[in-house]
Structure 1
Amino acid sequence: MDPKDYIKKQRFYLYVVAALIIGFLGGAIFAVYRLPQVNEPSTASRQQEAAEAIASMEKAVQQKPDDGHAWVELGHAYFDTGQAPKAIQAYTKALELLPGDLNVMTDLGVMYHQDNQHQKAIDLFDQVLKSNPKHEQARFNKGVVLLTGLNDRKGALAEWKTLVQHHPMAAAPSGKMVGDLIDQLEKEEGK
């Protein structure tokens, strides 16, 4: 047998083994991505869980109407499920029982914005910032409302620049750095 034939056969077998391995891995990866995720709850089951949690919280505030923290939790549940008018009611009641809670005031401001009551949102954020000029969420959300609710780009930029002075690593909920948002807005202004 010629040594050149041996090398050709050896290379042939390596190619066959490599092709089998690649085919196996490709099939395994395809199967994993094609199989339904058993542990992942469906949208319907998540909605059902949220509805049950809200019903439980509504019952809690009926049983203890003077529990400000229960009203906050109910407001958060409405917030998380996009029910702005109900969240506004729950947060308003919470603030009657827990006056001056800056975080609840900020969440209420966000809900006013979602309910297209932009000036009420700004007024609330201003109250929070008067008490604590470094309140990160209030400052960020005021910029959001100025930009998206009132179309005041310069006002939004000013708020976010102040935010970055106090909190250089401030980030949007998406994870994007506020400094990057400022740069993007300034570039758009320059066009």
Structure 2
Amino acid sequence: MSNQAYPKGFVRKDMFFVVVFFALSLGFAAGVITGSMYNPPRPQMQAAQGMGQMPPQQMPPQQMPPQAGPGGMTEAERTRLLALETDVTKRPGDVAALNNLGHFYFDHGMPQKAVETYRKSLEINDNQPDIWTDKGVMHRELKDYEQSLASFEKAIALNPKHEHARFNRGVVLIFDLDRKEEGLAAWRELLAMNPNVRAPNGQLLSDIIASMQ
């Protein structure tokens, strides 16, 4: 793994890809559940007059905050996972069902299961650059950097204007594979397409490149 330092103010690479996923998810086709939909805000506990917050056991059921159970998931999340897995069992060849399940695994820190589920989806229809990008993110979580890179490159081959895949490709080349010059070249290609492209923290890519030269 590379010891390359990150540019000042740049997000840590273990956080970057999650941010990229949420940005990508905004462009998913209707019917595909996005990552942000899996994490609704925690309900606010209601305060009883003159008593501050009510103890959880005294709160009405609809106001109870979700409680994490075995595996760190709430009951609602476990119910959702069961529904998604059941849907895939009933419709094993349905790309949307597989992607929904893959996104759940992605958002809940199960990269191996996400990779396996995305692979099944791509075996049915490999013309999904967003899913190739998400698969690349999950490979990186597993420290499988070559497969991560290959997934981003497949996404770019399918959609040469896929900015997130191009950005991610540069990140893996520079910070994971010690191929800094290739990574910077990849980012320069992205800049040629969009001079105003920014990293998830809002920093201009052109400024990041300048700080690394």
**With structure 1 as the length reference, what TM-score do the two structures score?**
0.68
Q: 1:108 aligns with which of 108, 111, 135?
A: 135
Counting matched residue pairs gives: 151
Tell me the residue number matched to 2:106.
79
1:174 and 1:81, CA in 2 relative to 1: closer, same or farther beyond 3 A? farther
Per residue, is there more helix in 1 or in 2?
Answer: 1
Larger radius of gyration: 1
Tell me the residue number matched to 2:209.
182
Whether 1:123 and 2:123 are equivalent positions in the alignment is: no
Aligned AA (1:141): N
Give the aligned CA root-mean-square deviation in angstroms. Answer: 2.7
Q: Where does the alignment leave 5 or more consecutive residues of structure 1 unmatched?
A: 1-34, 187-191
Tell me the residue number matched to 1:94.
121
Q: 1:154 aligns with which of 171, 181, 188?
A: 181
Which one is further off, 164-173 or 140-149? 164-173
1:44 and 1:185, CA in 2 relative to 1: closer, same or farther beyond 3 A? farther
Which one is further off, 134-143 or 122-131? 122-131
1:69 and 1:158, CA in 2 relative to 1: closer, same or farther beyond 3 A? same
How far residue 93 of structure 1 moved from its aligned partner, in angstroms, is 0.7
Q: Where does the alignment leave 5 or more consecutive residues of structure 2 unmatched?
A: 1-51, 54-62
Tell me the residue number matched to 1:54.
81
Aligned AA (1:105): W
How far residue 137 of structure 1 moved from its aligned partner, in angstroms, is 1.4
How far residue 51 of structure 1 moved from its aligned partner, in angstroms, is 3.4
Identity %: 34
